[in-house]
Amino acid sequence: MEYKTFNFFLIALSLSLLVLTINANTHTPIRFNKHANVHRPTPCQARGNPGWNDLGYIPLGYYDFLVGTPQECCNSSITKQSCFEWYFNPINGDCTIVISNPCSGATYSMSCVGLEGGSVRCSDSSNW
């Protein structure tokens, strides 16, 4: 009889520990890894980062203004909600912000024509 009582005790103890483990896991808050996005590139830092994918569509409607760097031009395109694409001419510092949705049709590599830029609100925008 003592053997059966001991087995019953072990089974009861195991089940109790199982219930406590399951209960503890359901009440443990989810902790997000603060280092999970460490290697995510910052938009507009350099060519190849989000917003600066060197890919453009033929612009439909746009306006130009002068800036000092392609980073400034890219950041301007991100802050302007009506902008879909940007390109920067390093020869004269001209920044062109494309405001009509050009997100369809033929694309071209901006670096092939001496420009820097990218699409910021099209579905093929890099990592957006």
Beta bridge partners of 108: 56
Q: Mean per-residue pLDDT for 60-87? A: 85
At residue 11, the pLDDT reads: 75
In the chain, DSSP assigns E strands to 55-57, 62-66, 85-89, 94-98, 107-109, 116-119
For residue 80, being part of any structural domain is answered with yes
- Is the pLDDT reported for residue 103 higher than 70? yes
Tell me the whole-structure pTM to 2 decimals.
0.60
Q: What letter represents residue 38's amino acid? A: V
Q: Mean per-residue pLDDT for 109-122? A: 82
Closest to 114 in 3D by CA, of 77, 80, 89, 84: 89
At residue 128, the pLDDT reads: 46
For residue 42, being part of any structural domain is answered with no
For residue 6, being part of any structural domain is answered with yes
Co-location of 66 and 111 in the same domain: yes
> Domain of 59?
55-119
Co-location of 62 and 23 in the same domain: no
| Residue percentage of the chain with pLDDT more than 70 | 65
Number of domains observed in the structure of the chain: 2
Cα–Cα distances (Å) from 78 to 55, 58, 125, 128, in that order, read 16, 19, 12, 11
Task: Report which of residues 8 and 35 the model is more confident about.
Answer: 8
Task: Report which of residues 123 and 87 the model is more confident about.
Answer: 87
CA distance 87 to 75: 11
